[in-house]
Amino acid sequence: MPDIQAPRGTQDILPEEQPWWDYVRTAAERLCREFRYEQIDTPAFEDVALFKRTVGGETDIVQKEMYVFEDRGGQELALRPEATAPVCRAYIEHGMHNQPQPVRLYSITPMFRYDRPQAGRYRQFHQFNVEAIGDESASVDAETIEILWRLYEELGLTGLTLNLNSIGDAECRPRYLEVLRDYYRDKLDRVCPDCRGRFEHNPLRLLDCKDARCQGVIAGAPALADYLCDACAQHFADVKAYMDALGIPYVENPRLVRGLDYYTRTVYEVQPLEEGGQSTVGGGGRYDGLIEMIGGRPTPGVGFATGIERIILNLKRQGMPLPDRSKLDVFVVCQSPAARVSAFKLASDVRRSGFSAVVGSADRSLKAQLRHADSLGASYAAILGERELAAGEVTLKRLNDGSQETVALDGLPQRLSGGR
Ligand code: AMP
């Protein structure tokens, strides 16, 4: 072991893991093209105020999990713990309200949270993140949910539950929070210490507590759905009607709230089978007040984030075979030091005609080079020894059945094209 290792909660994504990442990334990008979402990349760090103001000063993310540092110029910065606030900042900063609305954006990028590392929970992790900014229609909420659901479907993730709720807006939520506080007031001696704090600072999160002591109290709490104003109730009904039309199964979960302060109306989360709230694969919702919080004109928005590590973990858990690693077309076996330059040139010609090629080491035996070719999953070995060199030829061996033929050196690319 080296005496310096990867920081706790981070991981090296090794070449043998990359096929999983390709598999997920490719599906996500294909869907974004289908729905015409365009890629955006924002910086890995931002002014810390961006997250304090939007995610919320009372949230775990801001209080316990953000990587905050002062740069050499004395500016307080934070490594990005989530993508929505940065994307909204970019929306304002680049005048995207002048474009046709909603502006549809996505990113696939690392996030940083000082979380307690465990399976599927890291301090640097990657999210596929989708945002539709500038349209409050329920159809846009439904569109984002459809992308998330289609992603899991296309990847072959099974046993998922889509939980759906509406948490109202600035008009109806305060009224509900009063009702919720009234309900909790004489039960505070029965709930966990964290919930006593939530009662004061963030009462909606009372519903989200995982502590066993609090579950009975949560079960009896008044449901937010009963306190929605007419506009929010209609919006929620519309979202559900779109879901029904698409045949996407969901569970209406009146206890579902999301951890961050900026959510309004629709919230949703996808849970894998037999797992608690700690293992959510993806979640999102509407955030109609966020852009105003950071100085933009009132602009609605909706979106989701899904963790790539967690998707891969669940695919592996359900026994999905590893997607194919990228294959090699030709391994050029170099059987004599005199053939080195010709082998090198042959590989270069093969690549220029659109095939992949690797050259073996002339210092190693034929057998060792063929083993190497096999371990790279090569389709062909092109064997170049002194005899072949003298004749201007190469022996082309097909590795899956061992069949061999002789091909002119300069005819190999053509032979490969014909043999596809
Ligand atoms: P959140 O922004 O907390 O709703 O997270 C959205 C998604 O990101 C979750 O559903 C997870 O898939 C993933 N995620 C969040 N935190 C972590 C973490 N610490 N490690 C790995 N994935 C995470």
CATH number of the domain within which 41 lies:
3.30.930.10
Cα of 345 to ligand 1 centre, how many Å? 48
Cα of 98 to ligand 1 centre, how many Å? 32
Shared domain for 292 and 396, answered yes or no, is no
Query: Is beta strand 357-359 parallel, antiparallel or unpaired with respect to 378-384?
Result: unpaired
Token digits of residue 291: 């852009």
Q: Indicate if ligand 1 lies below 6 Å from the C-beta of 113.
A: yes
Shared domain for 311 and 350, answered yes or no, is no
Q: Does any domain span residue 180?
A: no
Q: Does any domain span residue 183?
A: no
Q: What domain count does the chain have? A: 2
Residues 168, 170: Cα–Cα separation, whole Å: 7
- Binned at pLDDT 50, 70 and 90, residue 208 comes out as confident
Atom of ligand 1 nearest to the CA of 304: 6
Shared domain for 313 and 379, answered yes or no, is no
DSSP E strands in 60-188: the ranges are 68-70, 76-79, 103-112, 124-133, 161-166
pLDDT tens, position by position, 351-377: 999 999 999 999 999 999 999 999 999
Cα of 306 to ligand 1 centre, how many Å? 7
Residues 319, 126: Cα–Cα separation, whole Å: 22
Cα of 74 to ligand 1 centre, how many Å? 30
Atom of ligand 1 nearest to the CA of 121: 20
pLDDT value, residue 164: 97
Q: Could you say which of 268, 295, 317 is where a domain stops?
A: 317
Q: Does any domain span residue 270?
A: yes
Q: Could you say which of 265, 285, 317 is where a domain stops?
A: 317
Shared domain for 298 and 399, answered yes or no, is no
Q: Does any domain span residue 198?
A: no
Q: Could you say which of 287, 317, 347 is where a domain stops?
A: 317
Where residue 404 sits, what CATH number does that domain have? 3.40.50.800
Shared domain for 135 and 283, answered yes or no, is yes
Shared domain for 341 and 291, answered yes or no, is no
Report CA torsion sign: 145, 166, 260, 51: positive
Q: Indicate if ligand 1 lies below 6 Å from the C-beta of 81.
A: no
Do the Cβ atoms of 267 and 253 come closer than 8 Å?
no
Shared domain for 259 and 303, answered yes or no, is yes
Q: Does any domain span residue 236?
A: yes
Q: Does any domain span residue 410?
A: yes
% of the chain beyond a pLDDT of 70: 98
Mean pLDDT across 70-80: 97
Shared domain for 386 and 307, answered yes or no, is no
Mean pLDDT across 302-306: 98
Q: Does any domain span residue 264?
A: yes
Q: Does any domain span residue 213?
A: no
Shared domain for 373 and 410, answered yes or no, is yes
Mean pLDDT across 21-37: 97
Instruction: Give whole-number Cα distances, 55 to 58, 86, 261, in Å.
Output: 9, 11, 5
Residues 6+ apart with CB under 8 A from 127: 82, 83, 107, 108, 109, 111, 305, 306, 307, 308
Shared domain for 19 and 113, answered yes or no, is yes
Give the pTM.
0.90
pLDDT tens, position by position, 89-140: 999 999 999 999 999 999 999 999 999 999 899 999 999 999 999 999 999 9
- The residue segments making up the domain with residue 292 are 15-172+228-317
Shared domain for 147 and 96, answered yes or no, is yes
Shared domain for 363 and 272, answered yes or no, is no
Cα of 113 to ligand 1 centre, how many Å? 9
